[in-house]
Amino acid sequence: MSNRKCYHLVLGLLLALTLILTACAQPQPTQAPATQPTQAPASQPTQAPAQPTAVPPTSAPAAKDNKLEVFSWWTSGGEAAALDALFKEYNKRYPDVEIINATVAGGGGSNARGVLQTRLAGGNPPDTWQLHPGWELMGQYLEAGYIEPITDLYKEEGWFDVMPKGLVDMMTKDGETYAVLAGVHRGNGLWYNKKVLDKYGITIGQTLSIDEFFQIAEKLKAAGECPLCVGDSGIWASAQLFENTLLGVIGPDKYLGLWNGTVSFDDPEVKKAMEDYGRMLDYQNADHSALSWDQAVKKLMEGGCVFNSMGDWAYGEFVNAKQKDNVDFGWVSHPGTAGSFMVVADGFPLAKGAPHRENARNWLRVIGSKEAQEAFNPLKGSIPARTDVDRSKFGPYHNWSMDSFAKDKLVPSVVHGSAAPAAFQQALNDAVTTFVVDRNVDAFAQALVKAAKEAKITP
């Protein structure tokens, strides 16, 4: 399938996803608030349930060394803790396998994806790695012939019955499925330091408009606070602030139109989003370019700034720092984006020529299991990809996000590889790097118009 066809497929699938999900066997919430919860979370499960008996322990693999190399960029406190939970689940079932934790630091895979490409091109693949469905999977790994189908695992493990079809379809081509999801992040979160807001008598409701955000930011600034935390030493974090603001200003339908070529990047509403994004940058911390995304979350926790627009891997940082939902920190959809769920799903494939093939297939079995999804996601901030998990094992944030996933419009993230080809993703990062300094809306719009043409998103 050509890039262009594949891209249409991915977008079509996302458009269809909301509909499909309503028909999915989503379990009834046991404690899911329909609105933003006000209660402290139920205690997070720190331990995985008892070892499952359905899958027998593997016999010794054919490979001479009994190892498994897992490649990812999960190195922040929350990310590493969640990854470790997956490793523990794996070693419960396969205690003799030595796991090689191959990580390359840099949020959003900003450094890792390049290192991975070099390894793949050089015929030196890890057994499995972190990837996003949609363009990233299709364009960077499947078309290049770096991954093998795992459709038989889907059948054996019954995943076709418990994973949302729309998401599985984003990893499927010509009847073969190529990755399994560990979890699904919601990209359009706005996190805040609740204690600082309490100090000023500011309460965030169930939704926040862009105008309301600016009013609060102005009030905080006047009181000598830094309203917005940004950690864009990896520029993707600022690109994410833009992506979220874009969704908030133009809405999900028009946002989807950008990726199927029916909406242009110099559309007046898109330019308005660029202006609002520029206005937000006026409220960011002076040291933004020296901080990574997780350092910005830490700064928020310490009260050095108040809001942070980030995917819910930020939740993993709060949990890792033992902060309490709705006591120390709170969340709301990024201004203007209530009703949309920006999908940033984390999948793992089987490398073609995986050095430890059977161990890698077992890794996929484990991460697709209920036990692993229930152990990993509370720590990571994402919701399980499986729809049959026990929701009572998840706190208020996760239940809120599960509800959002079930009822909101699902839209793909460009910053995290799903919505557009890698070349466009890179062009966006470059345009954001320039815009952060020159704040030139016309030049920003033109750069993206050109990038969309070059990536064949528009004719």
Q: Which residues bind ligand GAL (CB under 6 A)?
A: 73-74, 79, 107-109, 185, 313, 344, 346, 416
d(CA 72, CA 380) in angstroms, rounded, equals: 14
46, 152, 337 from 109: Cα distances, Å? 26, 29, 25
Query: Rg of the chain over CA atoms, in angstroms?
Result: 21
Beta carbon nearer to ligand GAL, 109 or 252: 109
Beta carbon nearer to ligand GAL, 184 or 204: 184
Nearest approach in angstroms of CB 16 to ligand GAL is 22
First-last CA distance in the chain? 18
Nearest approach in angstroms of CB 118 to ligand GAL is 19
Nearest approach in angstroms of CB 182 to ligand GAL is 8
Beta carbon nearer to ligand GAL, 74 or 129: 74
Residues 6+ apart with CB under 8 A from 458: 261, 264, 449, 452
Beta carbon nearer to ligand GAL, 55 or 105: 105
Nearest approach in angstroms of CB 60 to ligand GAL is 32
Task: Give the strand order in the sheet containing 67-72.
Answer: 98-103, 67-72, 128-129
d(CA 52, CA 178) in angstroms, rounded, equals: 24
Nearest approach in angstroms of CB 251 to ligand GAL is 24
Beta carbon nearer to ligand GAL, 108 or 335: 108
Nearest approach in angstroms of CB 229 to ligand GAL is 15
Beta carbon nearer to ligand GAL, 94 or 236: 236
Phi, psi of 65 (to 5 degrees): -110, 135
Phi, psi of 292 (to 5 degrees): -85, 170
Nearest approach in angstroms of CB 257 to ligand GAL is 24
195 CB-contact burial (10 Å; exposed 0-12 / middle 13-18 / buried 19+): middle
Residues 6+ apart with CB under 8 A from 155: none
Beta carbon nearer to ligand GAL, 73 or 307: 73
Give the residue at shortest CB distance from ligand GAL. Answer: 107
